[in-house]
Amino acid sequence: MSIFSKMLSIFKKKKKEEEKVGEVASLLFSIDKYGEIEVGANLIDESDETVHLLSELVYTLGTDSCFESVVDILRQGFSEADQKDQFEVFLKFLFNNYINDLNQEKLLSEEPVVKPSQVISEDGV
């Protein structure tokens, strides 16, 4: 069974009306073996309402609750595929990325804004 064989709802913001509302916008993220990320977008039209919903989708992707939901969906998928060990590998890579980002931010924040050599002119004055 594929990890992504089931569609799971990330957010249940409000109960939909009896009539099912169709998909109006979607994003597809993919990555190749070289680490290049590609993003595709599908919209049913370019109306203000559809563009507004797309903006909500993009905004939601940057939230902590979305991150947690995606990781939970992946955990469930790996578990259902009997690949719990691979989920642990995924988590190690994921957290290493965060640690590397934090270390990079720390290094950048420790560098002086103005280097001492820039303050002192060539003639020492």
Containing 95, the helix (H) or strand (E) segment is helix 84-110
Does the predicted model carry a pTM greater than 0.85? no
Residue 9: the pLDDT is 47
Residue 11: the pLDDT is 43
CA distance 11 to 73: 12
Per-residue pLDDT of the chain (125 residues; tens, 9 = 90+): 444 444 444 444 445 444 456 889 999 999 999 999 999 999 999 999 999 999 999 999 999 999 999 999 999 999 999 999 999 999 999 999 989 888 888 777 766 666 667 767 555 55
Instruction: Give one DSSP letter per residue of 29-54, joined into a string.
Output: EEE-TT--EEEEEEES---HHHHHHH
